[in-house]
Amino acid sequence: MITYFSNYPDNLEVRQIETIDALFQGKGITNYASITPSVLRRISKKLSVNVLITGIIQQAGETKRLSAQLYKTKTAVIFKSFEIDGPAEVEKIFQITDSLRKMVTNFLIISVMEKEIVTDFRPLISTKYPEAYKYYWYGNQAFYDKSRDFSTAKDYYLKAIEIDTNFTEAMRMLVYSYDKLGLPEIAKEWSVRLYRKRDQLLPLQKLYVNAIHTAYFGEILATINCWKSIIEYDDQMPVAYGNLAFYYIQLQQYDKQST
């Protein structure tokens, strides 16, 4: 894992095993299984890292279990765990470690990119593919840039969906991109594709999908009710208030646009 992360294209800063071992030995620790949260905090501070990864290899009969835990270094509290089982044969261990490494890597990369996404949209993103997430991120940059490059945004969203065909948030933004490009019929087609996936979505994701679908195929009051439902679900989402105001303006009910 250390070798892989050290050579990762995004230039993640990774501490080498010699440095880590030296710190543990300096604390008189030879058995990593006995490490306490307080020790992890101190070691992490000396390493100047944001995330500390620990792991365990266990074997029961013909099965090996590899697990990894990700700690927030400020609190030494586990915020994500991974676990994978596989055959105990030596020749198979690399397949297991590769799978675990991929799971950890994807999570970390997405966590970094997530910080650049509008807060309102973060709960809507379900993809586990970093490349898909990256193209979605690029699409948002083009969509919300001052130049409002909807054509470029559309191309990036399509690339994201090509990688992850169930990336519903990229589909949602693709609908808006086609609409902004003056292609409402294509936007409607993608809205229908998105709506067909609603049963596999989390509650908030489903509310957003309902809102965009009713905008094309329902009455304006139904769309308003969708945005009200989103606000009831989470009243700290500025995007929802903005969309609700937009539809009240369409009805010329200006006194309601801020409620």
Does 100 share its domain with 132? Answer: no
Phi first, then psi: give them for residue 197, nearest 5 degrees: -95, 5
- In the DSSP assignment, the letter for residue 152 is H
Q: Which residue has the tokens 């003056």?
A: 182
Does 238 share its domain with 191? Answer: yes
Does 238 share its domain with 124? Answer: yes
What is the per-residue pLDDT for 88? Answer: 74
133 contacts 116 by C-beta, under 8 angstroms: no
Does 52 share its domain with 123? Answer: no
What is the per-residue pLDDT for 147? Answer: 82
What is the per-residue pLDDT for 181? Answer: 96
Does 87 share its domain with 166? Answer: no
47 contacts 20 by C-beta, under 8 angstroms: yes
Does 185 share its domain with 206? Answer: yes
Query: What are the distances in angstroms from CA 116 to CA 43, 113, 120, 163?
Result: 29, 6, 12, 20
Among 113, 146, 179, the domain boundary falls at: 113
What is the per-residue pLDDT for 217? Answer: 93
What is the per-residue pLDDT for 146? Answer: 82
Does 74 share its domain with 141? Answer: no
What is the per-residue pLDDT for 8? Answer: 61
Does 56 share its domain with 177? Answer: no
What is the per-residue pLDDT for 216? Answer: 92
Residue ranges making up the domain that contains 46:
2-113
What is the per-residue pLDDT for 231? Answer: 92
Ranges of residues in the chain with a pLDDT under 50 are: 258
Query: What are the distances in angstroms from CA 214 to CA 30, 114, 127, 155, 252?
Result: 62, 28, 24, 25, 19
Does 159 share its domain with 87? Answer: no
Does 147 share its domain with 217? Answer: yes
Does 11 share its domain with 134? Answer: no
Look at the chain and report how many structural domains it folds into.
2
What is the per-residue pLDDT for 75? Answer: 73
Does 45 share its domain with 134? Answer: no
Q: What is the CATH number of the domain that holds 162?
A: 1.25.40.10
pLDDT digits (tens, 9 = 90+) for 221-245: 999 999 999 999 988 888 889 888 8
What is the per-residue pLDDT for 12? Answer: 63
pLDDT digits (tens, 9 = 90+) for 17-59: 667 767 766 666 656 666 666 677 777 777 777 787 878 888 8
Among 94, 113, 132, the domain boundary falls at: 113
Among 97, 113, 129, the domain boundary falls at: 113
What is the per-residue pLDDT for 94? Answer: 78
Q: What is the CATH number of the domain that holds 16?
A: 3.40.50
Predicted structure pTM score: 0.71
What CA–CA distance (Å, rounded) separates 191 from 168? 10
